[in-house]
Structure 1
Amino acid sequence: MIPHHLLDGPEDAPVLVLGNSLGTTTELWDGYELPFRTLRFDHRGHGGSEAPPGPYDIKSLAVDVLELLDHLQLKRVLYCGVSLGGMIGMWLAAHTDRISRLALVCTTAYFPDKSSWDSRIDAVENHGLESIADKVVDRWFTPHFDQTRKQKFREQLTRVDPRAYVASCEAIRAMDLRPELHRIKAPTVVIAAAQDQSTPTEFARVISSAVPDAELYVVGDAAHLANVEARQAVSVILDGHLGGVDVR
């Protein structure tokens, strides 16, 4: 499946793929001015992407990205992913040679506690995405985050195809990328947020300690969507790792 995507920027610049978190769309990266040709894509059932029937796993979601790269005739790319986007990035970097540099933001290779995913899946299957929207979005941001912007993210979440959302949750619940992290050869930076309840900093430390020569940074005043809430701090880290990131 080729996801809905946006390819922007100078045609002669390196391509940077930007992966979104579960429940968000390409709008997650609005506001970043990047000296790359940026490729943003929507996960299955998100934004403009189709919602094929499940089950899904991290490999199948990553293969969607590979098919997109092949469709656009892109052999090697930079990759930065948040949460689910980071999980896909880890799989791509561990299993292919398509990723030249990797940035992982507020993500994990494994969830030891499956119960929260079980309850989320049950709620969406029985009561729809509206039933979880407030709780999920509250965990994305710290309490002082702008409420108007927060509402826009809530609207993105509730427009996701519920069947694709459940299948994606099942993929995340079953995921365990820890045995594969040592295979990642692309230079890697791992960014965590001090107030992230969804993927706490200890999850980031597991990744950074297993990926050869990975660097770990923790930004302070942000929760799970740190690339939104701590945009300037994240951009500085990405600038050091990828080169030339500018935020307007």
Structure 2
Amino acid sequence: MLAHTLTGPDDAPVLVLGNALGTTTSLWRDFALPFRLLRFDHRGHGDSEPVPGPCTIEDLAADVVELLDHLGLRQVYYCGVSLGGMVGMWLAAHTDRISRLALVCTTAWVPDKGRLESRLALLRAGGMPAVVDSVVARWFTPGCSAGVVERFRDGLLGVDLSSYVSCLEAVRDMDLRADLVKIDVPTVVIAAAQDHATPTELVRRIADELVDSELYVVGEAAHLAVVEAPRTISVILDDHFGD
């Protein structure tokens, strides 16, 4: 069972918040939304136990379904960043558990698999210290505060190595493009203008394929836009899920 917290008014809609690869529930520390917030850690991240062996996006989505079943939640709102967004797309395409969806700085497939292969090679040779600085550098703009960068750097170093590798391989092998037309729930898609991990054109392709979507581009943020632009994204999410 994934480690999780469920906070907020008992009578409010449940909004599930899915994290980016290498991050934990602290990703959402600066968010105050008028919903019942379900935060969880992916396997081997934060307080969630590692799961031995390889995994797929479908496996990570199954972890979330298991959590929803455990909590007795039939249908929820879902917002996911990067890997969390990939999980959200799979859930919305293959289950009826998601009634509204938000996708932040994510992609339906990875065109440049060579970049991920290089990271995997470094991880296998030198562990997380071999990649931590290059990964974190892609998460934030140069103007992001040193304290924030250091907090997320420390968090990445604390992720179980084998779980991180398995999740990164799942991202490398994922292709959700054919699933996009199956997603018929209202969806907001958010890109960040300075995101070099999932550039705006990749995020835009998701919005273009969805039946019911709106696209927003946040200016002063990189891959972890929910950290650098929490107020802007909170307004977008509140408007989308509060309809």
TM-score class, shorter: over 0.9
Q: Indicate the residue corresponding to 1:65 in structure 2.
A: 64
Deviation track 1:204-225 (CA, whole Å, cap 9, x = no partner) reads: 1110011102111101010000
Q: Indicate the residue corresponding to 1:197 in structure 2.
A: 196
Query: Structure 2: how far apart are the matches of 1:24 and 1:113?
Result: 22
Query: Structure 1: how far apart are the matches of 2:175 and 2:5?
Result: 30
Q: What is the one-letter code of the residue matched to 1:187?
A: P
Query: Structure 2: how far apart are the matches of 1:170 and 1:110?
Result: 12
Query: Structure 2: how far apart are the matches of 1:149 and 1:208?
Result: 30
State the Cα distance separating 1:73 from its structure 2 match: 0.3
TM-score by length of 1: 0.97
Q: Indicate the residue corresponding to 1:218 in structure 2.
A: 217
Matched, 1:207 2:206: yes
CA RMSD in angstroms comes to 0.9
Q: Percent identity among equivalent residues?
A: 61
Q: Indicate the residue corresponding to 2:9 in structure 1.
A: 10
- Contact 2:33/2:238 (<8 A) preserved: no
Q: Indicate the residue corresponding to 2:43 in structure 1.
A: 44
Aligned to 2:131, what secondary structure does the other structure show? helix
Deviation track 1:152-185 (CA, whole Å, cap 9, x = no partner) reads: 0000000000000000010000000000100001
Q: How many residues are aligned here?
A: 243
Deviation track 1:21-42 (CA, whole Å, cap 9, x = no partner) reads: 0000000000211111100000
Q: What is the one-letter code of the residue matched to 1:142?
A: T
190-199 or 234-243: which moved more? 234-243
Matched, 1:32 2:28: no
Query: Structure 1: how far apart are the matches of 2:180 and 2:191?
Result: 17
Aligned to 1:32, what secondary structure does the other structure show? coil
Q: Indicate the residue corresponding to 2:119 in structure 1.
A: 120
- Contact 2:34/2:238 (<8 A) preserved: no
Uncovered stretches (5+) of structure 2, i.e. residues with no partner: none
Deviation track 1:46-98 (CA, whole Å, cap 9, x = no partner) reads: 00001111210000000000000000000000000000000000000000111
Q: Indicate the residue corresponding to 2:55 in structure 1.
A: 56
Query: Structure 2: how far apart are the matches of 1:233 and 1:204?
Result: 18
Aligned to 2:15, what secondary structure does the other structure show? strand
Query: Structure 2: how far apart are the matches of 1:143 and 1:204?
Result: 22
Q: Indicate the residue corresponding to 2:98 in structure 1.
A: 99
Runs (4+) off by over 2 Å = none
- Contact 1:9/1:36 (<8 A) preserved: yes
Q: Indicate the residue corresponding to 1:159 in structure 2.
A: 158
